[in-house]
Structure 1
Amino acid sequence: MTNRLVLVGPPGAGKGTQAARLSEELGIPHISTGDLFRAHIAQETELGRQVKEYLDSGQLVPDEVTNAMVRERLASPETAEGFLLDGFPRNVGQAEELAKMLSEADQELDAVVELKVDEEELVQRLLARGRNDDTEDVIRRRQQVYRDETAPLLEYYADRLVTIDGQGDIAEVTARVLDALKQRS
């Protein structure tokens, strides 16, 4: 059985933590767009230079650049048995591009795992990190942006969406995800 997965959830839901655990449990690579950006910048690739230019000027990296990085990464042999995408797709356009990438390789996405956490819990988690830019207003604005951007994405993936309660012990959340994925297969 393959595991071609997308992990979504609001800031503070524990995506990074769960992605690392699930990647290890399932024996598939964790592909984070943030990691891809940093790797390309460090290696000074053409895509990395483009990303750096956008980030240095305070702009969002355009979908076509992000899509190109993901396409390149998904073409690597280690993703043949599956992967866990974290931070991609962020919008329906990227989801459609991902579907096209997978279709070209005669593959499809197995599931989209949504980590759902109560907003007040998210705010408390992020405030507890103690970062300077993590004020309550900024955190609540990020949550709203997430909801606005992700709602259409969740609708797009309705047929393969697996919603998991992301509150509680880290190991319990991982177990919930794994159980839900087993039930789908």
Structure 2
Amino acid sequence: MAALNRLLRAGAAVRLPTAAARRCILSLAFSGGDARQGMPGRRDPVSRNVQWVFLGCPGVGKGTYASRLSQLLGVPHIATGDLVREELASSGPLAPQLADIVNQGKLVSDEIIINLLSKRLENAEANGESGFILDGFPRTIRQAEILEGVTDIDLVVNLKLREDVLLAKCLGRRICGQCGKNFNVASINVKGENGRPGIFMAPLPPPAQCMSKLVTRADDTEEVVKERLRIYNETSQPVEEFYRSRGKLLEFDLPGGIPESWPKLLQVLNLEDHDDKQSAAA
């Protein structure tokens, strides 16, 4: 983790390491990995030391599913969107610059994202965490190359959802101004047509104590959301191809809301959620 952190920070300003140097870095970054031929072994998810990336358009649900999997596997969920929002709320030196970028629906620069991610990894190392699920990083080829240069990602999950549903989801997002939890007031019921399946997503309403305290994120306007989707689509295809060519990309079309999608995602990942089964049986 320490080597990954150092190289992420340096990667914004220097060229990627050579193959020989990369093997040395990997031997440091993967304590407990299989060192045969200088490369780490693939990790069984049961070992709770997975190193996964979640890709997908803004509002697709990366945070929801990555968070659930992080709890299931016992690894930290590191969401760069959350890191940006935390920095904004901290009123630190980057806050004014970040506010302008976010409110216009633009991408935060590689340098800022890598700086925030490096800080988070430092905290992870101090807390003795191992493994991770990255959410929102990498978003550009440059970020993917930096990450590839210092670690061997096990799996890249690309969540997909049709754009009209994504827009409705984003516009329905709400945050409780008191507890900070996320909810969604959108009720989505799109009929299938032209060979596309229908999609139903029930609202995720807040409890009574949060109802009067709901606020809309400043960047969740139709104009900004559409701009974010346009930018994401432009930058995502090269990143998807980057991982597809390496045999690491798993594309998953969300069939609906959490009740429909979560069991199917677990199935394709060859995982079981025992707590979820017990709740369903209760």
TM-score range normalised by the length of the shorter chain: 0.7 to 0.9
| Alpha-carbon distance in structure 1 between the residues aligned to 2:227 and 2:90 | 34
| Alpha-carbon distance in structure 2 between the residues aligned to 1:136 and 1:65 | 26
Over alpha carbons, which structure has the higher Rg?
2
Q: Residue 145 of structure 2 aligns with which residue?
A: 96
| Alpha-carbon distance in structure 2 between the residues aligned to 1:177 and 1:124 | 22
For residue 255 of structure 2, the aligned residue among 148, 161, 167 is 167
Deviations 1:79-116 (A, max 9, x none): 42x211111111010111112232xxxxx101111111
Look up the equivalent residue of 1:172 and give its one-letter code. E
Matches of residues 6-21 of structure 1 in structure 2 within 5 Å? 6-21=53-68
Deviates more, 1:1-10 or 1:54-63: 54-63
Contact 2:77 2:133 survives alignment (8 Å) = yes
Deviates more, 1:150-159 or 1:1-10: 1-10
Contact 1:54 1:61 survives alignment (8 Å) = no
TM-superposed CA distance for 1:167, in Å, is: 3.3
For residue 98 of structure 2, the aligned residue among 34, 46, 55 is 55
Look up the equivalent residue of 1:139 and give its one-letter code. V
Query: What are the ranges of 5 or more consecutive residues in structure 1 without an aligned counterpart?
Result: 103-107
**Bigger helix fraction:** 1
TM-score normalised according to structure 2 size: 0.53
**Structure 1 58/27 Cα, relative in aligned 2: closer, same or farther at 3 Å?**
same
Query: What are the ranges of 5 or more consecutive residues in structure 2 without an aligned counterpart?
Result: 1-43, 174-184, 186-215, 272-282
TM-superposed CA distance for 1:41, in Å, is: 6.3
| Alpha-carbon distance in structure 2 between the residues aligned to 1:157 and 1:148 | 16
TM-superposed CA distance for 1:71, in Å, is: 3.6
Look up the equivalent residue of 2:80 and give its one-letter code. T
| Alpha-carbon distance in structure 2 between the residues aligned to 1:174 and 1:16 | 13
**Structure 1 73/149 Cα, relative in aligned 2: closer, same or farther at 3 Å?**
same
Q: Residue 31 of structure 1 aligns with which residue?
A: 78
| Alpha-carbon distance in structure 2 between the residues aligned to 1:42 and 1:139 | 21
1:179 aligns with 2:226: no
1:117 aligns with 2:161: yes
1:70 aligns with 2:117: yes
Contact 2:88 2:98 survives alignment (8 Å) = no
Look up the equivalent residue of 1:148 and give its one-letter code. E
> Percent of pairs identical after alignment?
40
TM-score normalised according to structure 1 size: 0.77
| Alpha-carbon distance in structure 1 between the residues aligned to 2:99 and 2:171 | 26
| Alpha-carbon distance in structure 1 between the residues aligned to 2:219 and 2:95 | 21
| Alpha-carbon distance in structure 2 between the residues aligned to 1:176 and 1:63 | 33
TM-superposed CA distance for 1:53, in Å, is: 4.8
